[in-house]
Amino acid sequence: MPPHELSAIANRIRRRDLQAVFEAGAGHIGGEMSVIDLLTVLYFHTMSIDPADPHRDRLVLSKGHTALALYITLSEKGFLPKEEIATFLKHGSRLNGHPNRVKVPGVETNTGPLGHGLPVGVGMAKAAKLDGASWRTFVIVGDGEMQEGSNWEAIMAAAQFGLDNLTLIIDHNRLQQGARLAETNDLAPLAPKLEAFGWAVDDIDGHDIEQICKALSPETITAGRPKCVVANTNKGQGISFMTDNVAWHHKVPNEDQYKQAMAELEGAA
């Protein structure tokens, strides 16, 4: 699928995400907007994801609080009825604030507590190696989440095991709940740290569809080394007053803000 079509899908997912957060009165819209381009490329360009195929690729959305973006992406791929997105966070809905693999088709593992997704992904990738399987494992984490020590233990293990079938994608939007990353525990620059642990690293614009496609391509894999893509993104991407604004970690737009945001996204379609 060409980049302009992927961009159109990403914009459609952003509009539906905005609507769902507004209608539900809750959500994590800032981080959802930053991760949507990455999810779009993974599901519509890079991954083999037929759930009936044991050789399918796996995605672990470790920053599970952005589950809504994943649900909408899955609905665009036919895993869920599109109309079910309207039930997000409602009583009895299976579309909770964090993804549940038992309830939601296409979800590979439950996430929410930060720092768990990458260790699970390392286990998946190691299992594939033991089975001689060719499928790949992708893990998306937030940059604030990289403060968790469990991630760095997993990073060491992945390098030790030579898991070149594992790709870690860091949604590097420079913000976390309530503060900037630099004000909390300044991990940047991330790329040289991963390289020091023996990983192959690409540092890209996480909203440039062509750059994302190239970085996730199997042609860029280095034999015997796990891959990390540091995706430089913007929290609230696509909406002027949300972009790079820490207040929009889980703030909900009022009616006027909703109309403005939707007009901006529709204008970019």
**What CATH number does residue 67 fall under?**
3.40.50.970
3-state secondary structure of 269: coil
pTM of the full predicted structure? Answer: 0.97
Q: CA nearest 218: which of 42, 52, 54, 61?
A: 42
pLDDT tens figures, 18-67: 999 999 999 999 999 999 999 999 999 999 998 778 899 999 999 999 99
Residue 62 to residue 76: CA distance in whole angstroms:
21
- Domain containing 226 equals 3-268
Report residue 81: phi and psi, to 5°: -65, 135
Whether 224 shows a pLDDT value over 80: the answer reads yes
Tokens 């540091």 locate to 230
DSSP H helices, 50-148, are 67-76, 117-131
Residue 83 to residue 72: CA distance in whole angstroms:
10
Domain count, the chain: 1
Predicted confidence band at 156 (pLDDT cuts at 50, 70, 90)?
A: very high
Predicted confidence band at 208 (pLDDT cuts at 50, 70, 90)?
A: very high
Whether 212 shows a pLDDT value over 90: the answer reads yes
Q: How many angstroms from the chain centroid is the CA of residue 36?
A: 7
